[in-house]
Structure 1
Amino acid sequence: MISFLLRRLGSGLLTLAVASVVVFAVLEILPGDPARLMLGLNATEDAVQALRVEMGLDQGFLVRYFHWIGGLLSLDFGRSYTYSVPVLDLITERAAVSLPLALISLALSTAIAIPVGVFAAARRGRTADTFAMAASQFGVAVPNFWFALLLVYVFAVWLRLVPAGGFPGWHAGLWPALKALILPAVALALPQAAILARVTRSALVEVLGEDFIRTARAKGLPQKTVLWRHALRNAMLPVLTILGLQFAFLLAGTIIIENVFYLPGLGRLIFQAINQRDLIVVESVVMLLVATIIVINLLVDLSYAIVDPRLRVRA
């Protein structure tokens, strides 16, 4: 198990190093001068040159890259030229919105998808199975921003149950903050629940054909026990894989939803920083998301050994 962990950690560090080079290089080759874009077309050459020196753009590629990496390793992400505050403070403030939003969305999608997948697998080939899979196909095909607009119209404009956008902050109280996150969380969760339900059903259908399931039924175990205790646990490996990928997507792919609901999260921060060519913010947030995804994948790999004891023996 220790050697397995070391291999996974080494692979994660290598991925992080390659990602840092790619992120830095891609942002460097973007057209336009960040200093001139930030100051505007009417800025003088002296002012533009002074800002370029302040941003370190007058130095070479490798010098700026290693300076940036050294700052990341020491948790010094630099200072945003747009907001005039440390980038780490910006990330901490915005993560307080994006991280709860991703967790709520993941919990909702799991709570919807697992029962639907088990329900459809237990009724394979029947009308209920067809209806459930048709609904999940619709959820996969429709983009989340369409769900977001529909939810805003129904629950915010028509029924007036929740706000249409904005975030009051956690200091305003737990319920007002959660109330502002309900609609975006549902908009993010529905497409992910559709994908997870289909994966759960497929994995369960395959497991339900195994010999040990027939043995459990021959012993007279109730159908509920066979499904939830024996079949579902053995079908959890692909489900866990999708859960890990979904959390990474929910954390990093909220740019559209946060802009629809005007949420001050990491997705909106990246969108604004790209428009304003605040490169240090974009680089730091993207690398943080890459590191988070690597950690999540490592945790998913470890959870395999918890769900399936045979993998612990192999490791």
Structure 2
Amino acid sequence: MLRALAFRALSLGLSLVVASVVIFGMLQGVPGDPAAFMLGTGARPDTVAALRAELGLEGGLVARYLDWVGGLLRGDLGVSYTYRVPVSGLVLDRIGVSAPLALYALLLTVVVAIPVGLVAAANRGGAADWGVMGATQLGIAVPNFWFAMLLVLLFAVTLQWFSAGGFPGWGDPLAAIKALTLPAVALALPQASILARVLRSALLDTLDADYVRTARAKGLSRRGVLLRHALRNALIPVLTILGLQFSFLLAGAIIIENVFFLPGLGRLIFQGITQRDLIVVQSVTMLLVAAVICVTFLVEVAYAWADPRLRR
């Protein structure tokens, strides 16, 4: 098992190298000059050249790529063109919103999806199964930003139970969690629908296995078979989806963060794109790619915990 994990870690390391080349190449190919954009159309050429040198935009692509990667390895993500502060400081400020939001939404996803998937599988072909499948199909079809606006209208404008947006910081943890609740629910709805459907399908496949029929023949109740035997053996696809969902929730919450005016990583990338702050977009995107790859590796380690057969 250790050999397999070492080989997989090497593969993921190569994926990081390829991702860094792709991200750097794509952003360097974006038309326009960030220095000229910042100074405006009336800037003098010598002023633009001086700003390009200050921002580190001079030199060949290979030298600039190696300089950027070397900085990443040292923990230096560069200096923002717009804010003139280290990108690492911006990331540390924003990750305190994006990471808890992703974990909160993932927790809601699991809390909702696992019982719903179990109920649907236990009542295969029944009214509960059809109801769950219809509700999850609706949850997948509804855009999360539209659902987020409905949540704002109902709970913030009409009932006034929550604020319509903003983040008060972690000085008051209860207020911070309350501010993240509506965004987390908006993010969790489609993810819970997907996870519930995947769990139901995996459980139905497992319930048709020979060992399940043997357990039933020995007198074990259907509920006991479902919880003690079928659920654990159905966890492999569920863990895969959970890993992908956490990566999406961490990196793909740009629209939701903008709807609720949350100062997270998604909003930082959006602001970097609109302001042509390419070093921010480049470094933060690379960090998110690294997070996705690390989560993928942890999910594969979790496979061995869920299914002992995979430890060989």
Q: Distance in 2 between matches of 1:43 and 1:176?
A: 46
- Structure 1: give runs of 5+ residues left out of the alignment: none
Determine whether 1:185 maps to 2:212: no
CA distance in 1, matches of 2:189, 2:30: 35
Q: Helix, strand or coil for the counterpart of 1:170?
A: coil
- CA shift at 1:309, angstroms? 0.7
Look up the equivalent residue of 1:46 and give its one-letter code: D
Task: Count residues with an aligned counterpart.
Answer: 312
CA offset at residue 223 of structure 1? 2.4
Q: How does 1:88-237 map to 2 (within 5 A)?
A: 88-171=88-171, 173-237=172-236
Aligned to 1:86: 86
Given the alignment of the two structures, is residue 243 of structure 1 paired with residue 254 of structure 2, yes or no?
Answer: no
* Deviation, structure 1 residue 44: 2.4
How far apart, in 2, do the equivalents of 1:309 and 1:169 lie? Answer: 43
Q: Give 1:254 shift.
A: 0.7
| Aligned residue in 1 for 2:34 | 34
Q: Could you say which residue in structure 2 is the equivalent of 1:25?
A: 25
Distance in 2 separating the partners of 1:67 and 1:82: 20
1:271 aligned partner: 270
1:225 positional shift? 1.4
Displacement of 1:43 in angstroms is 2.3
CA distance in 2 between counterparts of 1:129 and 1:39 reads 61
Q: Shift of the alpha carbon at 1:162? A: 0.5
Identity %: 63
Deviations 1:6-64 (A, max 9, x none): 11111111000000000000001111111111222232222211111112222111110
Q: CA deviation at 1:215?
A: 1.4
- 5+ long unaligned stretches in structure 2: none
5 Å-filtered alignment, 1:63-82, equals: 63-82=63-82
CA deviation vs aligned residue, 1:72-122 (integer Å, no higher than 9, x gap):
011111111211211111101100000000000000001101111110011
3-state secondary structure, aligned to 2:125: coil
The 2-side partners of 1:207 and 1:236 are apart by 10
What is the aligned-residue RMSD (CA, Å)?
Answer: 0.9
What one-letter code is carried by the residue in structure 2 that aligns with 1:112? Answer: V
Give 1:306's aligned residue.
305
Alpha-carbon distance in structure 1 between the residues aligned to 2:279 and 2:21:
14
Give the structure-2-normalised TM-score.
0.98
Distance 2:47 2:160 in 1: 50
Code of the residue aligned with 1:231 in structure 2: it is: A
Distance in 1, Cα, partners of 2:107 & 2:157: 26
Secondary structure in structure 2 of the residue aligned to 1:84? coil
1:258 aligns with 2:260: no
Q: Provide, for residues 248-300 of structure 1, a one-character-per-residue CA deviation record: whole Å limited to 9, x for no partner.
A: 00000010000000000000000001111111111110111111111101110
1:134 deviation in Å? 0.8
Q: Distance in 2 between matches of 1:144 and 1:22?
A: 29
Cα distance, 1:168 vs. partner?
0.7
